[in-house]
Every structure is written in structure tokens, then in C-alpha cells.
A and B are shown apart, each in its own frame.
Chain A
Amino acid sequence: GENVEQHPSTLSVQEGDSAVIKCTYSDSASNYFPWYKQELGKRPQLIIDIRSNVGEKKDQRIAVTLNKTAKHFSLHITETQPEDSAVYFCAASIGYGNKLVFGAGTILRVKS
């Protein structure tokens, strides 16, 4: 079936460094790729997304890149801050209906 693999499962960085989280997907019909941030005890919060007609999208310190040929997409966070510490989930739409498949998540720790 459709699946999304996410790596790494945990990531520790020093404050000010960059963090990169990578996902691969299996459904060639996937065309929408959101990223969610979930702090402890809170709801998943949409932080950035990308559609298949673009290769990169930026929003301040956050960027997402998409390689449709390789079925890869990545989240890049620059100048990390302690408040970036959270679990990050990638997701991909599948070819029919209103459905997202989520990656297993990455625990990001930013050390100050």
C-alpha cells in the first residue's frame, strides 16, 4: 500500500544550526506534501506545504523541497531556536479522495 518513510527519527542540533528532515513516498500520484509540527500535548500544526507543480517553497526560516522523480521531499529549518523543538510529521496525499499518509515523525531537539 501507500507509505511515507521519514528520517531521522530523532535529531539533535545546537541552537543556530540548521536541521533537515527527509521523507520518501511511494504513490506516484501524490501531489500534495504538508509538514506538521506537534508540540507536547498540542495539536499537529501545519507549518508549510508544497504541491507537485513546484520544487521549493520558503517561509522565513522554513523551506521545503520536492524531487518528484526521486519521490523525495525535505524540510529545512535554518537558524534553529529552542522553540523549534517538537515532533515533525511529513505527509503525502494519495491518488484518490481526501487522504493523507503520514510519516512516522521526527523528534527535533534544539539545544541552547
Chain B
Amino acid sequence: DTEVTQTPKHLVMGMTNKKSLKCEQHMGHRAMYWYKQKAKKPPELMFVYSYEKLSINESVPSRFSPECPNSSLLNLHLHALQPEDSALYLCASSQDKKTGILGEQYFGPGTRLTVT
């Protein structure tokens, strides 16, 4: 099973709202990722978790707050977003490079976020 799931599929939120995106995988992967993708652009890395610890933060604004409650789950908490944050938010997972080899990254279907 190479499936990563994400909820919700679509989300519309106002600039004062607080919402969360959720991601789940059951492949035993210990590296999990959040990416942001704008239309016609490549995925842009936001955060990387390695063994449930935040290992990379690509200078993402604090209105995005990631959380990794356990090895299968990854959340992205959203607060006070701006209209320019509207995008497709993709979760991915892979075998962790600590095992010696960077594993294949598998993407979830994404959450289409619109900030009004």
C-alpha cells in the first residue's frame, strides 16, 4: 500500500479562522512532509518531520504550525492566513534518510485551500 491520505479535500476559510489539515500514512515511513503548490508551479517544501521531530522548516511564516502526533499522522494548523496562502497543500511520506537511503516520496491527494 503506497497510499497517503489527506483531509479535507477542499477548505475555504476566512483570514481570522483557525483550521487544521490532516495527513495519514500506514507505510511505516518515518519521514513526513508538507508542501505548498501553486498552479503551474512545482511543489514547494514547507516542513519535514523525521521520526516525529521537526527537522526542516523552510522559513515558513508562523501562521502555519505543523504537528506530528505519531509516526502515522501529520497535521498542519492554520491561523490568520492571507489570500496569497491559497494553494494546494500536499503531504508526502518516505523512508527516512537515517536508514542510509533517501526513500521514494509518495504524495497525498492534497487539500485545496482558499483563503477569503
A residues whose Cβ falls under 8 Å from a Cβ of B: 31-32, 34, 36, 42-46, 49, 51, 87, 89, 93, 97-100, 102-105
Contact = CB atoms under 8 A, between A and B. Distances in A.
A98 B109 contact: no
4 closest Cβ pairs, A-B complex: A102-B42, A43-B107, A98-B31, A32-B102
Contact of B102 (A36, A43, A93): A93
A99 B56 contact: yes
Contact of B94 (A44, A51, A98): A98
Interface in B33-67: 33, 40-43, 45, 48, 50, 55-56
Given A43-B90, A99-B56, A34 B42 contact: no
Nearest to A107: B40
Given A98-B50, A104-B41, A105-B42, A46 B104 contact: yes
Nearest to B30: A98
Given A99-B45, A103-B42, 10 more contacts: A51-B101, A89-B42, A93-B102, A97-B97, A98-B33, A98-B48, A98-B56, A100-B45, A100-B102, A102-B43
Contact of A98 (B90, B102, B107): B102
